[in-house]
Amino acid sequence: MINNINLSFEEMWDKIMACDHKYDGLFYTAVKTTKIYCRPSCRSRKPKKINVTFYKDIQAVEAAGFRPCKRCQPEVEHSPHIEIVKSIVAFLVTHYKQQLLLKDIAENVGLSPYYLERLFKQETAETPRTYLEKIRVDKATYLLKSTKLTNIEICYEVGFQSPSNFYKVFRNLTNCTPSEYRKGFQHEVDRL
> What is the per-residue pLDDT across 139-188, written as a single tens digit (0 to 9) for each?
999 999 999 999 999 999 999 999 999 999 999 999 999 999 998 876 55
Helix (H, G, I), strand (E, B) or coil at 68: strand
Residue 23's nearest CA partner among 135, 152, 110, 160 is 135
> What is the per-residue pLDDT across 16-32, written as a single tens digit (0 to 9) for each?
998 888 888 889 999 99
Instruction: Identify the pLDDT of residue 57.
Output: 86
Could you give the C-alpha distances from 135 to 16, 20, 69, 90, 177, in angstroms and in order?
15, 11, 26, 11, 17
Q: How far apart are CA 1 and CA 59, in angstroms?
A: 11
Q: How far apart are CA 58 and CA 31, in angstroms?
A: 14
Residue 189 has pLDDT above 80, yes or no: no
Residue 74 has pLDDT above 90, yes or no: no
38 catalytically annotated: yes
Rounded average pLDDT over 101-127? 91
Instruction: Identify the pLDDT of residue 168.
Output: 97
Q: To the nearest whole number, what is the mean pLDDT of the chain? A: 88
Active-site position among 38, 69, 72, 155 = 38
Residue 124 has pLDDT above 80, yes or no: yes
Q: What is the value of pTM for the model shown?
A: 0.65
Q: What is the DSSP pairing of strand 52-55 with strand 36-38?
A: unpaired
Split at pLDDT 50, 70, 90, the class of 3 is very low
